[in-house]
Amino acid sequence: MTDWAWCSPWDGWGSALDNAAAESFNSLVKVEYIHRRPFAPRTEARLRIATWITGFYNPRRRHSAARGLPPEEFERIIAEARERHGQKDQTA
């Protein structure tokens, strides 16, 4: 690898600075969901956490990046603004 002048983007194993967004998300999931509920087997925990993420966190939880609105509401407002200005949705 010395011929390619390659360097690792990571500071080393276990560094929270490597992926701050993922570390922040993992912390939030633990605080808001995992530590508030008992889980029996690991498979149940995985299923219930995934259901919480897809059913609440992604669509309905308020996000600071969306001006404190739930993502579904924020996306609706953006779509309405585009329609008012004659722009079509570019994501479809």
pLDDT tens-digit map of 19-58: 887 888 888 888 888 888 888 888 888 898 889 888 887 7
- Joined together, the tokens standing for residue 80 give 């309405």
Judge whether 2 lies within some domain. no
Number of domains the chain is built from: 1
- Provide the residue range defining the domain that includes 44: 40-92
Q: How far apart are CA 80 and CA 9, in angstroms?
A: 40
Q: Does any domain span residue 70?
A: yes
For residues 21 and 76, which has the higher predicted lDDT (pLDDT)?
A: 76
pTM value > 0.85: no
Nearest 5°: the CA angle 75, 81, 82 is 90
6 domain-assigned: no
Q: Please give the mean pLDDT across all residues of the chain.
A: 78
Q: What is the pLDDT of residue 77?
A: 92
Asked if the structure places residue 33 within a domain, the reply is: no
- Model pLDDT, residue 45: 87
Its sign, for the CA torsion 68, 78, 27, 46, is positive
Does residue 9 lie within any of the structural domains? no
The predicted structure's pLDDT at residue 1: 47
